[in-house]
Structure 1
Amino acid sequence: MRSALADPAPVRLLLAGVVLAVAALSGCQDDEPYVAPTPTASTDAIAPAAATRTLDDLERALRRRDADAAAELGADDAAQDLLRSVAETAAALDLVDVTFTYLTENGQVAADGSWTAAIATTWRIDGFDERSARADIEFAFADGGTRVGAIGGGVGRTPVWISGPAAVRRTDDVVVLVADGVVPMRPLVTVSEQALVVAQRVLGRSAEQLVIEVPASSDALHAALGQPPGTYDAVVAVTATADGANVPGAPVHVFINPDVYRAQGPLSAQVVLSHEAVHAVTATPTTSGVENWLLEGFADYVALRDVDLPVSRTAGQIIGQVRRDGVPEALPSRLDLDTRAQHLGAAYEASWLVCVTLAEHGGEDALVAFYEAVVDGAGLEAELRRHFGWTIGDLTRAWQDTLSSVSSVGG
C-alpha cells in the first residue's frame, strides 16, 4: 500500500494556501483587525422538494381540520399563529379542494437561508362555490424548506382566508368572512341576508347564495383582488371572482372595503350590499361586452326600488351636475364608471336613472328580461328594440328628459 506521505502534492497545496494567507495578513495595518467576510446565501439553499413536502403536510392538516398540525409547520411564533388561523378559518368556511403546488422561486435566498416562492393554490367553499378558485400566492420558506415563514404579499394574491385571523359565519344562504374584527359580524350577516332577499325579490330567484369577504384594510382588499393600490380606495364594496378568472362558473364573491364601509350608516350599507348582491347573483364579473351603465344602473335600480328616499338624495350628484353643466349628450361611458373617475357618484346615479326610465316606459318585468338577456350574451340594441321598441337614440333622449325633469324639481 502506498503511504500518504509518498505524494507531497497535498502538502504543497496546503502550504501554498498558508503562504497566500500570510501574504494577505502582512499587508494589514496593526490598527485594522481582520474581519471575515459575511457569507452570502447561495441558491443551493433552495430546496423545492423539501418545500413541497411541507406544503403536502399543510394540505393534510387543512383537510383533517388539524390546527395544531398546521401550526407546527411555522418557522416562528408569528408563522405558527398564522398557520393556526389559516386552518381554523378553512374549517369554519368548510373549504374543500385545497391544494398547494410549488411553482418557482421569487428571487434569491436571503442571508438567513429563507426564500420565497410562488405557490399555485386552489380552494372552494363547499356548498357555495361551483368550482375551485386558483391563485398564485407567495410563501416564504425557512429551515431548508421544512418550515413556512410567511404567506402572502409580493406580486401574487393574498386571499382573505389565508391572510390571518378571521371570523366566519355560515347560514343556508350566506357566508360572511371578516378579518379579525375589522367590522362587526352580526350586523353584517343581517345586512347580507337582507341584500339577498332584495335581489331575489326583483329577479324572481329563490335558490341563490351570497359570499361576503371583508379584508383587514383597503390595502388588504387590493391584495385579495390582485389589484394595484388605490384602485378601490373610494369604493365601499366590489363584486369579483375569488381568483380573478372572469370565466363562467368562477366563484363570485362580494369584497368589502372596511375603511369605507365603517363610515356607512345602516341604510347606506343596506343599499350597497343589495347592489352588490345583484352583481353576485347574476355573476356579472364573468360577463363581457355588457355596457357598464346597464350593469351598475340595474343593480342600483334593484337596491333602491323599495327605499323611501327622495330623488334629491338618490340622484343628488347628477342633479347638481346637470344644473351646472347641462344634460349629458350620451349615456354614461365605461370611463365615467371607472372606480377612479372624478364624478363616479354622478355617473352611478345617471346609470340608475337610465334603468328607471326603461322601467317607466316598458315596466319592471321588461327591464328584468332585458337585463338578463343582455347579461347572458344577447345584443343590447336588439333586446332594447324587442322589449321596449326603442333604439339607443330613443333611450338616450328619454333619459335626457328624465334628467331634465328631476333636475328642475326644486330648482
Structure 2
Amino acid sequence: MAGLSLVLLAALVVTWLGKDDPQPPQPHLTSPTARQDLAAEALLDLQAAVRSRDAADLGPDASDAAGAAVANAAALRIADFTLRYVDEDAALSTKLPDGQWAAAVDASWRFAGFDARPAHAEVTFVFEVGAERASIVSVGDGDRRTPLWLAGRVQVRRGPASLVVAAEGQLVDAFAKRARAAVAQVHKVIPTWKQELVVEVPASDEQLDSVLNAEPGDYANIAAVTTTVDGTLSPSAPVHVFVNPEVYSGLKRDGAQVVMTHELVHVATGAATATTTPLWLLEGFADFVALRDSELPLSVTAGQILQKVRSGGAPRALPAGNEFDTRTTHLGASYEAAWLACRLLAQTGSEQDLVRLYRQVSNGGELDAALRQHFGFGEKELVARWRAELRRLAG
C-alpha cells in the first residue's frame, strides 16, 4: 500500500545516511486491508441503493452523504452506476481525523434520458470505520473530479429537452426557464442537431473548480462552460453545461439568456470535443444563434471590440488561440469580434449558408474551401471584409 511503502522508504533512507537522530514522526497510517474491504462493502451498498432508488439498501447507520446520493440519483434517474475502490489517498488521509481515510474510487454514471453513454472518473471518497462496518463520510476533496450530484443534496428540474441540477440555494427554477428558452432558440436555427441540454449549477465558483477538477481561477472570468463530464475529449463522453454562479448571477436577464443559449449551441454541435474548428467560428457561431433574436444594441453586444478598434485600429486577424483563454484580459472583445465575423457572413449570404459552413468545417472540412463554396470568397477576403465592417461600426 502507498502509505506503508513511503514509511519503509523513509526508514531505508535514514539507515543509508547513517543518521543517529530519532526518526521524525511518520505520516498518519490509514486503513489496513480489512478497512479497505469494509470500504468496498460500503461502496457496494451505495451502488445497490442508487440502482434500487431505496436508501434501505445502505444498511444501518447510513451517513447523510450516502443518503443524499441516493435521493439525488432517484431525482436524476441515474443509470449505469458503478463504484470500484482503487487505492488509498495517503496524502489526504493524513489530514483526516483518526478513524477516517480517503481513497480514490473509480465511478461511472449516466443521466438516463439525456446522456447516451456513462461518464467515468476517479472520485475521492472519505470513509470512517466503525466496529464492523465502514461508512461514507463525504465525497470530494483531493485532486479529483467531484460530481455535483455526489457532493451533497441537489435540486432537479426536468423538461422534455432540458435537465437542470443545482446545488441547494441556487434559483433552480430560473435556470430551468432559461434552459427551456435556449432549446427553443437553438431549434429555430439548427433543428436537425440534437438539442438535449443538461445544466449543472454548483454552489460557488470554488465548487465549480472541484466539479471540473480545475485550478482555482481557471473559470473565474466566464459565466458558464460546456465540457465533457469526465474531462476527456472522447466523442462518446456526456457533455453538460456547467455554470459559474459567481459570474452568472451578476448578469442581467437578457445576458443570462444569451449565455445559456450560447452554451446549448456548443452542446448541440459537439463543440466540446471539436479539435479542428477555428475558435472564432466555434464561438462566433454560438453567439450568432444566441443573439439572433436579441434587440440589444451594439454598444452592449459589441462594445468592447468596437472600443478597441477606435483606440488601436481593427485587428489584423480573426481571434484565435489564447485570445479565448479564460484568463485573458480581453476575452469579451474576442467573443464580440468572432460574433461580428459570423454575423457578416450571414448578412453576406444567408443564415443557412453560415449553418452549412459551420457544419462542413466542424466535420473536418477546410475553412478556405468551405468559404469559397458557400460565400464565393476565401479566408483572406473574409478578414478584409470583417476589418472593414469593424471600422464602419466603430465610426
Residue from 313, 327, 332 that aligns with 1:326: 313
Secondary structure at the residue paired with 1:240?
strand
Deviations 1:301-340 (A, max 9, x none): 0000110122222111111110011111111011111111
Cα offset, 1:186, TM superposition? 1.6
Tell me which residue corresponds to 1:99. Answer: 82
Tell me which residue corresponds to 2:223. Answer: 236
- CA 1:178–1:43: 2 relative to 1, 3 Å: closer
Residue from 315, 335, 339 that aligns with 2:326: 339
Confirm or deny: 8 A CA contact 1:73 1:146 kept in the other structure.
no
Tell me which residue corresponds to 2:126. Answer: 140
One-letter identity of the residue aligned with 1:97: D
User: What does 1:72-111 align with in structure 2 at a 5 Å threshold?
Assistant: 72=60, 74=62, 80-107=63-90, 110=94
Tell me which residue corresponds to 1:129. Answer: 115
Q: Report the TM-score when normalising by structure 1.
A: 0.85
Residue from 167, 174, 193 that aligns with 1:187: 174
Cα distance in 1 for residues equivalent to 2:179 and 2:331: 24
One-letter identity of the residue aligned with 2:83: F
Cα offset, 1:68, TM superposition? 4.5
Confirm or deny: 8 A CA contact 1:115 1:141 kept in the other structure.
yes
Cα distance in 2 for residues equivalent to 1:91 and 1:165: 12
Cα offset, 1:71, TM superposition? 7.9
One-letter identity of the residue aligned with 2:385: A
Cα offset, 1:358, TM superposition? 1.1
Deviations 1:123-150 (A, max 9, x none): 0011110100011100112216722122
Give the root-mean-square deviation of aligned CA atoms.
Answer: 2.0
Tell me which residue corresponds to 2:5. Answer: none
Are 2:185 and 1:202 aligned?
no
- CA 1:322–1:207: 2 relative to 1, 3 Å: closer
- The number of aligned residues is 366
Secondary structure at the residue paired with 1:188?
helix
Residue from 352, 356, 365 that aligns with 2:352: 365
Tell me which residue corresponds to 1:170. Answer: 158
Residue from 242, 248, 273 that aligns with 2:260: 273
Cα offset, 1:362, TM superposition? 1.8
Tell me which residue corresponds to 1:264. Answer: 251
Cα distance in 1 for residues equivalent to 2:244 and 2:348: 36
One-letter identity of the residue aligned with 1:137: V
Confirm or deny: 8 A CA contact 2:302 2:337 kept in the other structure.
yes
- CA 1:330–1:72: 2 relative to 1, 3 Å: farther
Cα distance in 2 for residues equivalent to 1:63 and 1:153: 25
Cα distance in 2 for residues equivalent to 1:236 and 1:71: 41
Cα offset, 1:381, TM superposition? 2.1
Cα offset, 1:187, TM superposition? 1.8
Cα offset, 1:274, TM superposition? 0.7
Confirm or deny: 8 A CA contact 2:280 2:319 kept in the other structure.
yes
Residue from 206, 214, 221 that aligns with 1:219: 206
Secondary structure at the residue paired with 1:122?
strand
Tell me which residue corresponds to 1:156. Answer: 144
Secondary structure at the residue paired with 2:320?
coil
Deviations 1:70-98 (A, max 9, x none): 48464xxxxx2222211111110000011
Confirm or deny: 8 A CA contact 1:45 1:113 kept in the other structure.
no
Tell me which residue corresponds to 2:52. Answer: 64
Are 2:106 and 1:120 aligned?
yes
Secondary structure at the residue paired with 2:324?
coil
Deviations 1:358-383 (A, max 9, x none): 11222111100010111122222221
Tell me which residue corresponds to 2:302. Answer: 315
Cα distance in 2 for residues equivalent to 1:54 and 1:188: 35
Q: Considering only CA atoms, is the larger Rg found in Structure 1 or Structure 2?
A: 1
Confirm or deny: 8 A CA contact 2:157 2:165 kept in the other structure.
yes
Tell me which residue corresponds to 2:364. Answer: 377
Cα distance in 2 for residues equivalent to 1:348 and 1:379: 22
Cα distance in 2 for residues equivalent to 1:331 and 1:39: 57
Secondary structure at the residue paired with 1:329?
coil
Are 2:224 and 1:247 aligned?
no
Cα offset, 1:50, TM superposition? 2.0
Are 2:292 and 1:305 aligned?
yes
Secondary structure at the residue paired with 1:247?
coil
Cα offset, 1:201, TM superposition? 0.6
Identity %: 41
Cα distance in 2 for residues equivalent to 1:58 and 1:105: 19
Secondary structure at the residue paired with 2:265?
helix
Tell me which residue corresponds to 1:7. Answer: none
Tell me which residue corresponds to 2:3. Answer: none
Question: Which of 386-395 and 209-218 deviates more?
Answer: 386-395
Q: Report the TM-score when normalising by structure 2.
A: 0.88
Confirm or deny: 8 A CA contact 1:71 1:84 kept in the other structure.
no
Deviations 1:232-273 (A, max 9, x none): 111111111111122112111111111111111211111110
Cα offset, 1:154, TM superposition? 0.4
Tell me which residue corresponds to 1:13. Answer: none
Confirm or deny: 8 A CA contact 2:86 2:103 kept in the other structure.
yes
Confirm or deny: 8 A CA contact 1:73 1:148 kept in the other structure.
no
